[in-house]
Structure 1
């Protein structure tokens, strides 16, 4: 596990050598397995492979709006086509940018406007691994105090309904689909007759996920908790498998 002293040293080196902004994301993989970082749009990460117990500190763009996620169980096939069991982009290469990921996937959504950052953990496209976003310093724009942690660290496999379970070619559990992506029902996707104000409500699937992940958004109209807007944080700790 990286120490605070090591993190501070890396931040100092980045400050000396230059970077795109003063905002740094600390990507730490505490999973017992390798993950491959992905972002849409790109954050310029040329080496997305993250081995267990590793940390990377990355300078983020001054203005960036998009999603970050981790791909799991990735490999090249005999034709050197690179793919992943969850979070795959369909590019065939280790680089993963603009194409949408293969669901299910736990999404970390950010809207960066200089020193003001909006952030959330979203299960709107399912869940493939536990995650946490922890601001380093800063305060809420609305004056509500310090910027809170948001996460989903529970084992969703314990509550994933059988009709939403995602399995690999060997029949092993790899994630849990969202009801919208798997069942294609407008009431779960908040579309059609369910798209108006107040029409999209929690459902039996989102409520089950919310019981374990109270700080994550579990269906398209979920606003509890709100999407936090944080000002003045020096960085954001993004941890995969934090528990």
Structure 2
């Protein structure tokens, strides 16, 4: 799969964004373009079937799942609560792309208004992406060659352990995840402290320093000019299968065909 600058997969909508980019994400592809894509799948002979995502909370505390569609319908109303051990199934059509993440330390009123300590997205039902630092599970369903593409991304930093497990598919279909506790091993200058003076998240170097070198932009906007840094290597050493920076594609993008997926927080 060809990857363009900034981690945007060609013919896909998985975006490895930085903290500043989250605030400038434009409106996603509209319904008509999604319908056209769906018709292309049918007329090209590619089998189109729904994919089931099981979003599961294995953390010892409650988390609030966030969802954001890059192409296709909003899943799970954009966000929902998961008590410890709880799970929820979401169904996405062929051609869907988007991301899931866990929010922590949230407080909402009866109308869903409120905030989260990490991964905040404007309310119980997300109106946009989660505010970094946040661990992401990203998908493009029935992409190039009829394959699903998926990854775990720490490009926006880290807040909780996260994993993706395919089931019932064919092809490579490997587990992808970050099961290390990066909050416990976060460099001091990347730590995000919570209200109890505890480390609740670990920023990416891009979010912390906002330089072209760390954010792979300007003169550093190609894989050759934006190699790994000491900070991204900390993430990569802890979680070898996860994106550690924008051009960390070779060991971090996975494919499967015709699978369903479990996205687990604290796997």
Which residue number in structure 2 is paired with residue 122 of structure 1? 153
Are residues 164 and 44 of structure 1, via their aligned partners in 2, closer, same or farther at CA, if it must alter by over 3 Å? same
Q: Is the 8 A contact 1:31 1:240 kept in 2?
A: yes
Higher percent of residues as strand: 1
Which residue number in structure 2 is paired with residue 162 of structure 1? 188
Which residue number in structure 2 is paired with residue 32 of structure 1? 60
Give the number of aligned pairs: 214
Which residue number in structure 1 is paired with residue 87 of structure 2? 55
Per-residue deviation at 1:230?
A: 1.3
Q: Distance in 1 between matches of 2:98 and 2:170?
A: 22
Per-residue deviation at 1:39?
A: 1.3
The aligned runs of 1:1-243 (5 Å cut-off) are: 21-41=49-69, 43-46=74-77, 48-76=80-108, 81-89=113-121, 91=122, 93-97=123-127, 99-113=128-142, 116-140=147-171, 146-233=172-259, 235-242=260-267
Stretches of structure 2 lacking an aligned partner (at least 5 in a row): 1-47
Per-residue deviation at 1:201?
A: 0.5
Per-residue deviation at 1:135?
A: 0.6
Provide runs of 4+ in structure 1 moved above 3 Å: none
Which residue number in structure 2 is paired with residue 13 of structure 1? none
Q: Is the 8 A contact 2:192 2:199 kept in 1?
A: yes
Are residues 102 and 197 of structure 1, via their aligned partners in 2, closer, same or farther at CA, if it must alter by over 3 Å? closer
Which residue number in structure 2 is paired with residue 3 of structure 1? none
Describe the superposition over 1:49-88 as per-residue Cα deviations: whole angstroms up to 9, x where unpaired.
11101122221232212221111110037x9841001110
Are residues 172 and 121 of structure 1, via their aligned partners in 2, closer, same or farther at CA, if it must alter by over 3 Å? same
Are residues 165 and 100 of structure 1, via their aligned partners in 2, closer, same or farther at CA, if it must alter by over 3 Å? same
Please state whether the residue corresponding to 1:219 is helix, strand or coil: coil
Per-residue deviation at 1:226?
A: 4.2
Describe the superposition over 1:172-195 as per-residue Cα deviations: whole angstroms up to 9, x where unpaired.
211100000111011111011111
Q: Is the 8 A contact 1:139 1:232 kept in 2?
A: yes
State the Cα RMSD in Å: 2.2
Per-residue deviation at 1:229?
A: 2.2
Per-residue deviation at 1:121?
A: 0.2
Q: Is the 8 A contact 1:71 1:87 kept in 2?
A: yes
Q: Distance in 2 between matches of 1:156 and 1:197?
A: 25
Q: Is the 8 A contact 1:137 1:147 kept in 2?
A: no
TM-score under structure 1 length normalisation: 0.81
Please state whether the residue corresponding to 2:236 is helix, strand or coil: helix
Q: Distance in 2 between matches of 1:197 and 1:52?
A: 40
